[in-house]
């Protein structure tokens, strides 16, 4: 396969890009012709070309196995959903039950309510055989409810044993995955034949290794509508400024993708890129410049951005994450004070669509993705896989050991294509500050 790209000739003219995004010609953003992307992404394909890759790390492919571990007859399956709401949870639940019933003939299911809390003590459960699975696919939220917070894995395993559960499907984010890892350790300690299979759920798209989490595309599509509304509000008033705060504790994926889907944003602020508010080259200086040129501005900020402007917050939420200071409130006050000091009247709109975004039903893309995740999870569980997360890695569904996801967070690369697409679109500087 000849992948050589022809050039018309030697490139001798410096690009004008640095002047627009305040960078230099040595910046990491610029690529050279010797930076290559591998054509083959599987060991089988590389081996066929004669490459010696037997020791290369690789994830196990997801999918149905010819031989399975569990006998479907009298098999009892549990499902629990944890953490915050996210589009597509009900789609995953429906997909799990449909696949287990229609492909494997399983007929006994227990839905544990309100996250891991439902697995502690004598909490009421849901008989999922009585649920209209087709109907819940068009519903937001979770029919099982959800909660945040750790529960004792010893008590949870006691509940699974009491209820005769052989497979537990866990749907949740980073805190949920840490809980699943602890649960697997307790099950292993007791030498119990109980499989724990996880489907990663996070609206922030911050689960490492996988291509993206379910519900993310729906979320940034809805977030883009909020940016569009902010643009309408900003342009409808003299001195109009819309400040749209979106989800993203540690990762700015929703802010970035939404701003690229709805290109009216003038500034995008994310947790991965620190910024100065005041002073030479600071955010307010650039905002004032924008306002004097166009008399309106649209600002998108992820909830975790700008935490460096606050005293360290030591309090934790129920999931074990540091509580965030209110960057939206800080920017609102500083913007109002700045324009008042220069006698420039503004109309500032605050828009926070977070909870409205979390609760919507999954769009068509996420509906398909949720079903495929559910199918992969079922095949993994029936094959006796445990302590495993199913997800898409380089467009293929794979099995990932849960412990690999619990020690890092997926974040926007400040030197990567996504962030630079945002900078190229907004025209904002790569860094705010001198």
The per-residue pLDDT for range 352-384, each reduced to its tens digit, is 998 889 999 999 999 999 999 999 999 999 999
Find, among 303, 305, 263, the residue nearest to 283 by Cα.
305
The domain 61-213+360-405 having CATH identifier 3.40.50.450: the answer here is yes
Q: Calculate what percentage of the chain has a pLDDT beyond 90.
A: 72
pLDDT higher than threshold 90 for residue 411: yes
Which long-range contacts (C-beta less than 8 Å, at least 24 apart) are formed by 369-372?
369/88, 369/214, 369/217, 370/88, 370/91, 370/92, 370/95, 370/214, 370/215, 371/91, 371/95, 372/397
* pLDDT greater than 90 at residue 342: yes
Residue 52, pLDDT score: 73
**pLDDT at res. 43:** 76
Q: Which two tokens stand for residue 404?
A: 């690999």
The DSSP 8-state label assigned to residue 308 in this structure reads G
143 touches 111 (CB < 8 A)? yes
Beta strands in 195-331 (DSSP E): 195-200, 240-246, 267-269, 296-302
Q: Where exactly does CATH 3.40.50.460 map onto the chain?
A: 216-358+414-426
How high does pLDDT run on average in the chain?
90
Reported as a pLDDT band with limits 50, 70 and 90, residue 339 is very high
d(CA 365, CA 370): 9
State the pLDDT at residue 6: 65
- The confidence score (pLDDT) of residue 320 equals 64
Beta pairing partners, 298: 242
Return d(Cα 102, Cα 79) in angstroms, integer.
17
Ranges 23-27, 308-312, 425-429: which has the least confidence: 23-27
The whole-number average pLDDT for the span 177-187 is 94
Q: Are 18 and 24 in contact (CB under 8 A)?
A: yes
Q: Which of 275, 393, 257 is nearest to 334 (CA)?
A: 275
C-alpha span between 73 and 90 (Å, rounded): 25
Look at residue 121 and tell me whether its pLDDT is greater than 90.
no
**Residue 20 CB contacts under 8 Å (≥ 6 apart), including other chains:** 427
Q: How far apart are CA 169 and CA 162, in angstroms?
A: 17
Closest CA to 248 of 306, 205, 218, 212: 205
* pLDDT at 1 (0 to 100): 61
DSSP 3-state assignment of 391? Answer: strand
Instruction: Please report the beta strands in 23-89, taking only residues with DSSP state E, as ranges in sequence order.
Output: 60-61, 76-81
Superfamily name and number for 216-358+414-426: Phosphofructokinase domain (3.40.50.460)
What is the percent of the chain with per-residue pLDDT over 70, rounded to a whole number?
90
On whether the CB atoms of residues 220 and 261 are closer than 8 A, the answer is yes
State which of 191-205, 229-243, 300-314, 405-419 shows the largest mean pLDDT: 229-243
Q: Give the separation between CA 291 and CA 344, rounded to whole angstroms.
A: 9
pLDDT greater at residue 107 or residue 322: 107
What residues are annotated to the active site? 204
Confidence at residue 25, expressed as pLDDT on a 0 to 100 scale: 60
pLDDT higher than threshold 90 for residue 47: no
Tokens 């650039």 locate to 286
Which helix or strand (DSSP H or E) is residue 168 part of?
strand 167-172
CA distance 328 to 365: 31
Higher pLDDT, 274 or 25: 274
Residues of the chain with CATH 3.40.50.450: 61-213+360-405
Task: Tell me what pLDDT residue 355 has.
Answer: 87
Q: How far apart are CA 131 and CA 97, in angstroms?
A: 10
* Token pair 């996988």: residue: 210
Half-sphere exposure of 207 (CA within 13 A, CB side): 32
With bands split at pLDDT 50, 70 and 90, how would you rate the model's confidence at 311? confident
Pairing of strands 108-112, 125-126: antiparallel
pLDDT at 114 over 70: yes
Buried/exposed code over 346-359 (b: 16+ C-beta within 10 A; e: otherwise): bebbebebbeebbe
pLDDT of residue 18: 61
Token pair belonging to 230? 């902010």
**Stronger pLDDT, 295 or 318, i.e. the higher one:** 295
Classify strands 195-200 and 167-172 as parallel, antiparallel or unpaired. parallel
Q: Determine the average pLDDT of the residues in 136-142.
A: 94
Give yes or no for residue 54 having a pLDDT over 70. Answer: no
Q: 140-178 pLDDT, tens per residue?
A: 999 999 998 889 999 999 999 999 999 999 999 888 999
């Amino acid at each position: 396969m000849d992948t050589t790209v022809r050039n018309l000739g030697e490139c001798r003219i410096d690009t004008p890009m640095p002047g627009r995004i305040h960078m230099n010609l040595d910046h990491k953003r610029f690529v050279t012709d010797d930076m290559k992307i591998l054509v083959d992404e599987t060991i089988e394909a590389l081996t066929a070309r004669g490459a010696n890759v037997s020791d290369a790390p690789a994830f196990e492919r997801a999918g149905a196995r010819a031989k399975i571990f569990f006998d479907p007859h009298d098999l009892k399956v549990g499902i629990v959903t944890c953490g915050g709401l996210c589009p597509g949870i009900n789609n995953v639940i429906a997909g799990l039950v449909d696949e287990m019933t229609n492909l494997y003939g399983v007929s006994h299911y227990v839905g544990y309510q309100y996250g891991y809390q439902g697995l502690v003590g004598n909490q009421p459960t849901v008989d999922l055989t009585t649920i209209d699975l087709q109907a819940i696919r068009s519903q937001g939220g979770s029919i099982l409810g959800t909660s945040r917070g750790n529960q004792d894995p010893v008590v949870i395993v006691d509940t699974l044993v009491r209820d005769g559960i052989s497979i537990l499907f866990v749907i949740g984010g980073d805190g949920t995955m840490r809980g699943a890892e602890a649960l697997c350790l307790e099950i292993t300690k007791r030498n119990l034949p109980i499989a724990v299979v996880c489907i990663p759920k996070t609206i922030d798209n911050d689960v490492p290794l996988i291509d993206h989490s379910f519900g993310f595309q729906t979320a940034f599509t809805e977030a883009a509508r909020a940016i569009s509304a902010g643009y309408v509000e900003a342009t409808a008033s003299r001195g109009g400024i819309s400040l749209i705060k979106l989800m993203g504790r540690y990762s700015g994926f929703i802010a970035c993708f939404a701003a690229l889907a709805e290109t009216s944003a003038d500034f995008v602020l994310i947790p991965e890129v620190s910024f100065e508010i005041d002073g030479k080259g600071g955010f307010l200086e650039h905002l004032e410049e924008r306002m004097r040129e166009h008399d309106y501005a649209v600002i998108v900020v992820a909830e975790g951005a700008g935490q460096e402007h606050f005293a360290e917050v030591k309090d934790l939420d129920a999931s074990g994450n540091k509580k965030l200071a209110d960057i939206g409130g800080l920017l609102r006050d500083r913007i109002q004070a700045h324009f008042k000091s220069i006698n420039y009247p503004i109309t500032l709109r605050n828009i926070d669509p977070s909870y409205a975004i979390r609760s919507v039903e999954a769009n068509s893309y996420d509906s398909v993705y949720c079903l495929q995740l559910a199918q992969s999870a079922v095949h993994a569980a029936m094959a006796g896989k445990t302590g495993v997360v199913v997800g898409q890695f380089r467009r293929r569904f794979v099995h990932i050991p849960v412990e690999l996801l619990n020690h890092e967070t997926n974040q926007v690369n400040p030197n990567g294509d996504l962030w630079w697409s945002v900078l190229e679109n907004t025209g904002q500087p790569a860094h705010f500050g001198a």
